[in-house]
């Protein structure tokens, strides 16, 4: 029994108990527990006693004790914040009051400081406003893109069928052969619903009406199941039956208003492409902003066999056909995907089964998957978010810089507060309060600015982002985080510096700039800021030059002053009528009918070819272009061998480009007169064209062939004389409308058309200009603030220097040299980063500009210029000041 | 309704405090309850009851002497207040009234 004192309760239980127990009760409770433990040892033995002890310790997780514990913690925290009141027995009750009083005091001081240093406040607020509005806008953009097509209640079970073509390379499409919808429905038990969605552009007219209104709106052929898969609610009509009959259509409320002006649209009819009539049987609620399915007219699926019967084949994958399926609940998508291999074997012959493969793509993946031409790349969103973070950091850095510099001016205040008994923590929180106030002001402006800028952003990015701060939970959370993070990043360092002042030094006014928070840290911050803006600047310059190269470099054909017009009816009579009408116009120099210009982002068809007597098709595909014999001269294409095509519909002739000849492994002259089978039509090679760029500079030149095929000419290209374009265009429009009265006129210049290759680049460029400008502007604000402050600090130094004979130049240099140094250091950091990033960007282009020193020199030159403009005025003003004033002001 | 009521366990703890007179603290009370009520008693439950009673004003407490078995830690000694006594008396009375009102079949 003697040694029972040596038996102690389990240590971990003891520790746990200490953690859980409210500190003020700790002593008595632990005492009781230990005493009980001793008693228990006597009564039930050591082992059981330990067990009981542990259980007892665990019981302190009871809500009663936890509540007490949390209350004590809170109290302990507020104690730190608490005002500097002497401890009285009842101090605990007074704490909240003291806290509010001190907070009031902080706010008053903050308000006074801010209004006393107006320029400082304005600079800070402005920087933060810009940074934060970019943050808010980019966040809502990212949020918008991430939330695409998430609103469908069955979204996790909806999949799109995709195709893969395994040839020389594997090409992936989000589109499928038309019969696959029925195959999915019939062949697989895991498919609950399946629907095709086949979308075309269309012109809508109303034969029964007299106003002859015409609209250009897209239509989608779709099966009734479509509305069972996706959640697009009906306002009128029955979703299950609306599209079951041929020649029926469902339109959105918006279109119903546009077409029928508020009359009940149900039962009304419209005509598509001057051919097919449809009766409206249902009206859809307007489409939500965040869906990739944008068609506003859905027409019944059986009708497609009337309008485009040729589409119904397993052999072709048109970019208009999509198939959506709804899997049964609990289906393993991977297994379903594997099971789909049987489509290839069931519907294709042995050879094609190896080429055509089909897969499932989750609905949530569609918007951002670049392999299938998703609307936006994840990497772009990440890049944007990074830029937003950078801009916010730049603004915070500004704040830190200015505030730390400013701290010197407040040394007396801090000194007095310290003497009165302020603790470090209190001073720190005081400064945080002040920062929070500035952040809040900036935030209010930032919200306003974001609302103003939103329409421009939507237009620029062709998005439909809405800014509704209370719409879903993520926005308020983001904003709160933004406020907190900005406040703490910008407030904590200056706060620490302020709080760390030695009161005596501070009151004596002996603090100098170098002692305040270490100038080196501020230098580091300025360097960071400028490194960021210089990197952005380098990137902007490079992208700009590449874009210029894209539009100006020789593509191997003429693209200026060529107007492309649609040819709605591809009959020979119509063509000759159009040709005759256009040739009357004196401004039109050349006319050619074609299906696609030498280079085009759309309407490209690549197909297989078999050369001369070779037993098999070649491994590569050839781009198939059709055009009349004027094609070469209109676009200024040159022949390296052979002759031009002859106008003939009986004998088929082909022109091949040099790349095609090279890929065939023959010489140009050798090819002339040889037989070739392209697109399953056999013909003779009559000539070889000099290579021209048939796609963007991102791609290598592909094998291309040109042949005559009148029924395929869906476009017409006019070479016009450059003089007086508006008149020319007007007369062309008139001529077109005369020959095609039932259709809607549109035109495009070839060079503009080619710009579509670089649409995203153009967009990126605009954004980069914007962000680089904002980054530099914020940086300059900071620089301006710093230099003003330095000038104020150095008044006396400048006075002394001037009396001793220093010139204006040397004094300006006094300011300049520091910043010049910083800029150069920033450049040393920015240049390699920019070089690396831009090399990656340019690697995407097969034909691109080279990175050269000029670009980098331009970048640093621009920064220097801007910095000089910013710093110059202030420093010259400081240098020109009368030294007597400066020295007398003591 | 300006008065707090007592739970059954609280009432027992309050009675134990009264019985133990000057020596009432967590362990002794728990021990007392174990013996008299013959049921398992958790120390933490006793503590919670005690703190609640104190908040309600039925007991007061002071820190008392340390003993060796507690590793030299002080104990909190509880004693009943006038309000506590009144409360107990009242409960007793109410119960008695009920008991009196019961017509026991054995008596008839």
Q: What is the pLDDT of residues A347-390, one digit of tens each?
A: 888 878 888 889 999 998 888 887 887 777 788 888 888 888 88
Taking Cα atoms as reference points, which of A529, A669, A663 lies closest to residue A606? Answer: A663
- For A34-43, A601-610, A864-873, which range has the lowest pLDDT when averaged over its residues? A601-610
| Number of H-type helices and E-type strands within chain B | 4, 2
Crossing angle, helix A11-20 and helix A63-81, to 10 degrees?
A: 60
A514: its two tokens: 């170098």
B1 pLDDT band (50/70/90 cuts)?
Answer: very low
A830 pLDDT band (50/70/90 cuts)?
Answer: very high
Taking Cα atoms as reference points, which of A71, A8, A58, A73 lies closest to residue B44? Answer: A58
**CA–CA dist A614, A553 (Å, integer):** 38
| Number of H-type helices and E-type strands within chain A | 31, 25
**CA–CA dist A505, B47 (Å, integer):** 54
Taking Cα atoms as reference points, which of A447, A456, A502 lies closest to residue A478? Answer: A447
What pLDDT shows up at residue A542? 92
E strands present in A809-883:
none
Identify the three-state secondary structure at position A10.
Answer: coil
Which H/E stretch holds residue A388?
helix A378-407
What pLDDT shows up at residue A509? 63
Cβ pair A27:B74 closer than 8 A: yes
- For A242-251, A385-394, A596-605, which range has the lowest pLDDT when averaged over its residues? A596-605
Q: Given B44, B63, B75, which is nearest A56 (Cβ)? A: B44
**CA–CA dist A768, A434 (Å, integer):** 33
Residues A606/A624, Cβ–Cβ less than 8 Å: yes
With the CA atoms of B42, B45, B51 and B53 taken in that order, what torsion angle do they form, in degrees rounded to the nearest 10?
Answer: -110
- Taking the CA of residue B34 and the nearest CA in chain A, the distance in Å comes to 12
Average confidence score pLDDT of chain A: 83
Q: Given A33, A38, A64, which is nearest B43 (Cβ)? A: A33
Residues A710/A593, Cβ–Cβ less than 8 Å: yes
| Closest chain B residue to the Cα of A61, Cα to Cα | B44
**CA–CA dist A854, A594 (Å, integer):** 43
What pLDDT shows up at residue A161? 92
Taking Cα atoms as reference points, which of A801, A822, A796 lies closest to residue A512? Answer: A796
What pLDDT shows up at residue A513? 53
CA distances from A3 to A33, A47, A439, A669, A768 (A): 19, 15, 65, 111, 79
- Across the range A445-461, mean pLDDT stands at 89
Taking Cα atoms as reference points, which of A204, A193, A254 lies closest to residue A226? Answer: A193
Range among A111-115, A324-328, A396-400, A506-510 rated most confident:
A324-328
- For A555-564, A850-859, B22-31, which range has the lowest pLDDT when averaged over its residues? B22-31
- Across the range A562-584, mean pLDDT stands at 88
Which is more confidently placed, A884 or B107? A884
| Closest chain B residue to the Cα of A25, Cα to Cα | B76
Tokens 């006019």: give the residue: A718
- Taking the CA of residue B73 and the nearest CA in chain A, the distance in Å comes to 5
A85 pLDDT band (50/70/90 cuts)?
Answer: very low
For the segment A2-40, what is each residue's pLDDT rounded down to a tens digit?
A: 444 567 777 777 777 777 777 777 878 888 888 888 888
Question: Which residues does B contribute to its contact with A (CB < 8 Å)?
Answer: 25-27, 30-31, 42-45, 47-48, 51, 63, 66-67, 69-71, 73-76
Kind of pairing, strands A269-272 and A276-284? antiparallel
Q: Which of B33, B43, B55, B76 to mutate to test the interface with A (most CBs of A within 10 A)?
A: B43
pLDDT at residue A1 greater than cutoff 50:
no
**CA–CA dist A625, A605 (Å, integer):** 8
Q: How far is CA A626 from its chain centroid? A: 37
**CA–CA dist A412, A113 (Å, integer):** 13
**Residue A94: CB atoms within 10 Å:** 14
Cβ pair A36:B43 closer than 8 A: yes
What pLDDT shows up at residue A836? 92
- For A3-17, A84-98, A372-386, A758-772, which range has the lowest pLDDT when averaged over its residues? A84-98
pLDDT at residue A888 greater than cutoff 80:
no
Cβ pair B75:A39 closer than 8 A: no
Taking Cα atoms as reference points, which of B68, B47, B70, B51 lies closest to residue B59? Answer: B51
A510 pLDDT band (50/70/90 cuts)?
Answer: low
Q: Where are the alpha helices (DSSP H) in A665-708?
A: 668-671
With the CA atoms of A465, A471, A475 and A476 taken in that order, what torsion angle do they form, in degrees rounded to the nearest 10?
Answer: 150
Residues of A in contact with B70 (CB under 8 A): 31-32, 34-35
Which H/E stretch holds residue A282?
strand A276-284
For the segment A169-193, what is each residue's pLDDT rounded down to a tens digit?
A: 788 888 888 888 888 888 898 999 9
CA distances from A330 to A55, A156, A159, A192 (A): 44, 11, 14, 11
Query: Number of C-alpha atoms within 13 angstroms, CB side, residue A55?
Result: 13
| Closest chain A residue to the Cα of B24, Cα to Cα | A32
Kind of pairing, strands A321-327 and A704-707? unpaired
pLDDT at residue A88 greater than cutoff 70:
no
Q: Is the Cα dihedral A662, A666, A667, A673 positive or negative?
A: negative
For the segment A667-684, what is each residue's pLDDT rounded down to a tens digit?
A: 888 889 888 888 778 889
- Taking the CA of residue B97 and the nearest CA in chain A, the distance in Å comes to 35
Share of chain A above pLDDT 90, in %: 13
Q: Given A32, A34, A59, which is nearest B25 (Cβ)? A: A32
Nearest-Å Rg of the Cα atoms of chain B is 16
- Taking the CA of residue B85 and the nearest CA in chain A, the distance in Å comes to 25
Residues of A in contact with B71 (CB under 8 A): 31, 34
Write the burial class of residue A632 (CB in 10 Å: 0-12 exposed, 13-18 middle, 19+ buried): buried
- Across the range A312-339, mean pLDDT stands at 86
pLDDT at residue A519 greater than cutoff 60:
no
What pLDDT shows up at residue A86? 45
Residues of A in contact with B69 (CB under 8 A): 34-35, 38
Residues of B in contact with A29 (CB under 8 A): 26, 47
Taking Cα atoms as reference points, which of A671, A19, A820, A779 lies closest to residue A398? Answer: A779
Q: Given A31, A55, A56, which is nearest B70 (Cβ)? A: A31
Tokens 């005596």: give the residue: A504
Cα-flanking dihedrals φ and ψ of residue A628, to 5°?
Answer: -80, 175
For the segment A272-294, what is each residue's pLDDT rounded down to a tens digit?
A: 888 888 999 999 998 888 888 88
**CA–CA dist A263, A335 (Å, integer):** 50
For the segment B56-103, what is each residue's pLDDT rounded down to a tens digit?
A: 888 888 887 666 667 677 788 888 888 888 888 888 888 889 888 887
Write the burial class of residue A82 (CB in 10 Å: 0-12 exposed, 13-18 middle, 19+ buried): buried
Q: Which of B31, B73, B78 to mutate to test the interface with A (most CBs of A within 10 A)?
A: B73
**CA–CA dist A886, B94 (Å, integer):** 92
**CA–CA dist A691, A670 (Å, integer):** 17
Which H/E stretch holds residue A252?
strand A248-252
**CA–CA dist A714, A570 (Å, integer):** 6
Kind of pairing, strands A748-749 and A562-566? antiparallel
- Taking the CA of residue B64 and the nearest CA in chain A, the distance in Å comes to 9
Cβ pair A65:B71 closer than 8 A: no
A442: its two tokens: 């900036």
What pLDDT shows up at residue A383? 83
DSSP A120-188: HHHHHHHHHHHHHHHHHHHHHHHHHHHTTT---TTGGGEEEEEEEEESSSEEEES---TTHHHHHHHH-
Q: Given A28, A55, A65, which is nearest B75 (Cβ)? A: A28
Write the burial class of residue B89 (CB in 10 Å: 0-12 exposed, 13-18 middle, 19+ buried): exposed
Which is more confidently placed, A705 or A13? A705
pLDDT at residue A790 greater than cutoff 80:
no
Cβ pair B30:A64 closer than 8 A: no
A394: its two tokens: 């730049």
A40: its two tokens: 């228990």
A98 pLDDT band (50/70/90 cuts)?
Answer: low
**Residue A117: CB atoms within 10 Å:** 18
| Closest chain A residue to the Cα of B25, Cα to Cα | A32
- A-B C-beta contacts closer than 8 Å: 59
**Order of all β-strands in the sheet with A748-749:** A588-594, A715-720, A562-566, A748-749
Identify the three-state secondary structure at position A593.
Answer: strand
Which H/E stretch holds residue A200?
strand A191-200
Write the burial class of residue B55 (CB in 10 Å: 0-12 exposed, 13-18 middle, 19+ buried): exposed
**CA–CA dist A147, A141 (Å, integer):** 10
Residues of A in contact with B62 (CB under 8 A): none
**CA–CA dist B17, B87 (Å, integer):** 14
Average confidence score pLDDT of chain B: 81
What pLDDT shows up at residue A889? 58
Residues A830/A772, Cβ–Cβ less than 8 Å: no
Partners of residue A566 on adjacent β-strands: A715
CA distances from A344 to A166, A339, A724 (A): 12, 11, 57
Query: Number of C-alpha atoms within 13 angstroms, CB side, residue A417?
Result: 23
B50 pLDDT band (50/70/90 cuts)?
Answer: confident
Taking Cα atoms as reference points, which of A156, A252, A238 lies closest to residue A204? Answer: A252
| Closest chain B residue to the Cα of A5, Cα to Cα | B69
**CA–CA dist A870, A850 (Å, integer):** 32
A623: its two tokens: 């781009």
Tokens 């133990």: give the residue: B20
Residues A878/A794, Cβ–Cβ less than 8 Å: yes
- For A156-160, A332-336, A777-781, A883-887, which range has the lowest pLDDT when averaged over its residues? A883-887
């Amino acid at each position: 029994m003697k040694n029972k004192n040596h038996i102690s309760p389990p240590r971990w239980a003891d520790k746990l108990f200490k953690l859980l127990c409210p500190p003020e009760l700790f002593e008595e409770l632990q005492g009781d527990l230990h005493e009980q433990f001793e008693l228990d040892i006597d009564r039930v033995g050591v082992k059981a006693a330990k067990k009981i002890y542990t259980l007892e310790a665990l019981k302190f997780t009871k809500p009663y004790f936890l509540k007490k514990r949390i209350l004590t913690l809170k109290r302990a925290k507020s104690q730190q914040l608490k005002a500097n009141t002497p401890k009285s027995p009842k101090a605990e009750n007074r704490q909240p009051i003291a806290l509010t009083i001190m907070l009031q005091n902080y706010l008053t001081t903050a308000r006074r400081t801010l209004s006393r240093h107006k320029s400082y406040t304005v600079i800070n607020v402005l920087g933060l406003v810009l940074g934060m509005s970019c943050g808010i806008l980019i966040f809502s953009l990212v949020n918008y893109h991430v939330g695409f097509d998430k609103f469908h209640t069955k979204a996790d079970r909806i999949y799109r069928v995709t195709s893969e073509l395994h040839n020389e390379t594997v090409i992936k499409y989000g589109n499928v052969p038309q019969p696959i919808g029925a195959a999915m429905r019939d062949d697989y038990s895991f498919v609950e619903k399946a629907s095709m969605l086949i979308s075309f552009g269309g012109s809508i007219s109303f034969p029964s009406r007299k106003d002859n209104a015409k609209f250009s709106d897209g239509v989608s052929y779709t099966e009734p199941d479509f509305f069972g898969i996706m959640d697009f609610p009906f306002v009128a009509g029955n979703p299950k039956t609306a599209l079951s009959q041929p020649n029926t259509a469902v339109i959105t409320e918006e279109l119903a208003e546009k077409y029928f002006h508020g009359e009940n649209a149900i039962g009304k009819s419209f005509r598509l492409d001057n051919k097919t009539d449809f009766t409206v049987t249902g009206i859809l609620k307007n489409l939500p902003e965040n869906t990739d399915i944008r068609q506003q007219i859905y027409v019944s699926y059986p009708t497609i066999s009337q309008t485009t019967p040729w589409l119904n084949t397993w052999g072709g994958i048109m970019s208009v056909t999509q198939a959506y399926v709804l899997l049964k609940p609990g289906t393993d998508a991977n297994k379903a995907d594997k099971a789909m291999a049987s489509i290839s074997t069931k519907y294709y012959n042995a050879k094609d089964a190896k080429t055509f493969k089909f897969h499932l793509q989750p609905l949530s993946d569609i918007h951002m998957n670049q392999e299938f031409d998703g609307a936006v790349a994840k990497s772009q969103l990440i890049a944007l978010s990074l830029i937003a973070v950078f801009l916010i950091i730049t603004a915070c850095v500004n704040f830190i810089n200015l505030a730390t510099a400013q701290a010197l001016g407040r040394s007396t205040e801090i000194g007095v507060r310290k003497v009165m008994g302020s603790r470090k923590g209190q001073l720190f929180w005081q400064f945080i309060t002040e920062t929070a106030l500035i952040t809040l002001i900036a935030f209010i402006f930032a919200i306003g600015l974001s609302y103003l800028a939103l329409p421009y952003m939507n237009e620029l990015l062709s998005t439909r982002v809405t800014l509704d701060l209370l719409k879903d939970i993520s926005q308020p959370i983001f904003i709160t985080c933004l406020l907190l993070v900005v406040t703490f990043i910008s407030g904590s360092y200056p706060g620490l510096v302020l709080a760390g002042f030695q009161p005596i030094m501070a009151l004596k006014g002996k603090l100098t700039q170098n002692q305040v928070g270490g100038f080196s840290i501020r230098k580091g911050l300025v360097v960071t800021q400028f490194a960021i803006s210089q990197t952005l600047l380098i990137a902007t310059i490079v992208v700009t030059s590449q874009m210029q190269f894209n539009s100006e470099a020789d593509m191997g054909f003429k693209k200026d002053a060529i107007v492309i017009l649609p040819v709605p009816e591809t009959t020979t009579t119509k063509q000759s009528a159009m040709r005759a009408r256009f040739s009357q116009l004196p401004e039109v120099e050349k006319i050619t009918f074609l299906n696609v210009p030498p280079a085009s982002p759309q309407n490209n068809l690549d197909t297989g070819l078999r050369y001369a007597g070779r037993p098999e098709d070649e491994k590569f595909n050839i781009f198939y272009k059709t055009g009349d014999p004027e094609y070469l001269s209109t676009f200024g294409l040159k022949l390296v061998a052979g002759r031009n095509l002859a106008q003939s519909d009986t004998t088929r002739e082909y022109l091949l480009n040099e790349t095609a000849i090279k890929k065939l492994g023959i010489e140009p002259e050798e090819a002339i007169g040889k037989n070739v089978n392209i697109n399953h039509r056999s013909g003779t090679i009559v000539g070889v064209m000099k290579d021209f760029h048939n796609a963007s500079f991102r791609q290598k030149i592909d094998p291309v062939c040109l042949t005559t095929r009148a029924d395929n000419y869906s476009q017409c290209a006019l070479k016009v004389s450059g003089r007086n374009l508006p008149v020319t265009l007007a007369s062309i429009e008139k001529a077109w409308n005369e020959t095609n009265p039932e259709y809607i006129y549109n035109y495009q210049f070839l060079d503009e058309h080619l710009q579509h290759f670089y649409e995203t680049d153009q967009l990126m460029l605009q954004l980069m200009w914007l962000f680089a400008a904002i980054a530099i502007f914020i940086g300059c604000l900071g620089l301006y603030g710093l230099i003003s402050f330095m000038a104020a600090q150095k008044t006396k130094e400048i006075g002394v220097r001037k009396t001793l004979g220093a010139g204006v130049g040397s004094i300006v240099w006094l300011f300049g040299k520091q910043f010049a140094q910083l800029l150069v250091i920033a450049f040393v950091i920015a240049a390699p980063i920019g070089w690396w990033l831009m090399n990656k960007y340019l690697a995407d282009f097969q034909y691109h500009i080279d990175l050269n020193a000029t670009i980098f020199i331009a970048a640093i030159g621009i920064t220097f210029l801007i910095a000089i403009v910013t710093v110059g005025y202030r420093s010259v003003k400081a240098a020109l000041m009368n030294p007597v004033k400066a020295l007398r002001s003591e | 309704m300006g008065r707090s009521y007592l739970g059954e366990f609280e009432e027992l703890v309050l009675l134990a405090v009264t019985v133990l007179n000057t020596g009432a603290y967590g362990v002794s009370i728990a021990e007392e309850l174990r013996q008299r009520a013959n049921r398992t008693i958790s120390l933490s439950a006793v503590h919670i009851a005690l703190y609640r009673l104190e908040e309600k004003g039925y007991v007061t407490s002071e820190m008392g002497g340390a003993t060796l078995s507690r590793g030299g830690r002080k104990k909190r000694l509880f004693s009943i207040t006038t309000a506590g006594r009144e409360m107990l008396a009242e409960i007793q009375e109410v119960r008695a009234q009920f008991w009196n009102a019961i017509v026991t079949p054995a008596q008839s």
